Amino acid sequence: MKVQAAYFGALRARLGLDEQCLTLAAGISAEQAAEAACGHLGPEWPAALRLAVNDEFVPGHTILREGDRLALLPPVSGGSL
Amino acid sequence: MDATNHCFLSSAVLDPAALEATLKDADCGALAVFVGRVRREHQGRPVVRLDYEAHGTLALKELHRVAQDARRRWSLGPLVLAHRVGRLDIGDVAVVTAVASPHRDEAFAACRFLIDEVKARVPVWKHEFYADATEAWIGAPGWERRTV
């Protein structure tokens, strides 16, 4: 199945991509998809991410469906010091 | 009492005085305002500028959730949660959290809660650029200064 992954912040910069169409096995979870997308950067990367599907935060074990939009969100750093 | 949550991201300059002026409520005798500005150094290193990036849809949703969480804790009048996105220079206003309430106890406590929650939860990312031509995405795994 196909899932549209969107990357943000440092992950977007490291991958050099704003978004990417991922072709994945049916029944895969959000965290498994994140591992597929950025696990090659090192295990700390997928582990650090918050995930969202179709503009809602989800737990990593959420099962993805065809056409889902998966956002991979690094640790946030808004506000000021 | 007005229970408006004025939550937004802005690529334009934030004006704390203008935002404060929107929080007049005859039932509220207290107004607490936090203004966060870009500092010229981070961990001892001179900053020349920074960029804030956001997941716009999620950030807006989370700002509203933060506001609702504050209302569950305290009796509050109108409030503002505003965060800049895009490029900022030293001294620019990055974030404003402001809240009116009947009395000062709630205003002080809620204002502190609002900025702490915004910092912890809202999907915004800071990209800093330093005087020595290095840069860093704050908070990213293994983040450290790299040569641009």
Q: What is the dihedral of CA A28, A32, A33, A36, to 10 degrees?
A: -130
pLDDT score, position B144 = 60
**Cβ distance of B123 and A81 shorter than 8 Å:** no
The minimal CB distance from B139 to the residues A6, A57, A74 is found for A74
Average pLDDT, 10 consecutive residues per value, chain B (148 residues):
96 97 96 97 93 98 98 98 98 98 97 97 96 94 65
pLDDT score, position B16 = 98
As a whole number of angstroms, the distance between CA A27 and CA A66 comes to 10
Closest B-chain CA to A77 = B125
**Which chain A residues touch B if contact means CB-CB below 8 Å?**
6, 8-13, 42, 44-45, 47-48, 50, 52, 55-57, 71, 73-81
pLDDT score, position B25 = 95
- Whether B123 contacts chain A with CB within 8 A: yes
Name the strands in the sheet holding A69-73, side by side, starting at the edge strand that comes first in the sequence. Answer: A19-23, A2-7, A69-73, A50-53, A56-58
Residue B89, judged by CB atoms within 10 A of its CB (0-12, 13-18, 19+), counts as exposed
**Cβ distance of B125 and A78 shorter than 8 Å:** yes
**Cβ distance of A10 and B126 shorter than 8 Å:** no
pLDDT score, position B142 = 80
pLDDT score, position A79 = 81
ipTM higher than threshold 0.90: yes
Taking residues A33-59, report their average pLDDT.
Answer: 96
- Whether B141 contacts chain A with CB within 8 A: yes
pLDDT score, position B147 = 54
- Whether B49 contacts chain A with CB within 8 A: no
- Whether B84 contacts chain A with CB within 8 A: no
- Which SS3 state, helix, strand or coil, does residue B32 take? strand
**Cβ distance of B122 and A76 shorter than 8 Å:** yes
Q: Which pairing describes strands B41-42 and B124-130: parallel, antiparallel, or unpaired?
A: unpaired
| pLDDT tens, residue by residue, A6-41 | 999 999 999 999 999 999 999 999 999 999 999 999
**Domain annotation for chain B: domains and CATH numbers:** 5-133 (3.90.1170.40)
**Cβ distance of B125 and A71 shorter than 8 Å:** no
**Cα-based distances in Å from B42 to A29, A36, B50:** 38, 34, 11
- Whether B44 contacts chain A with CB within 8 A: no
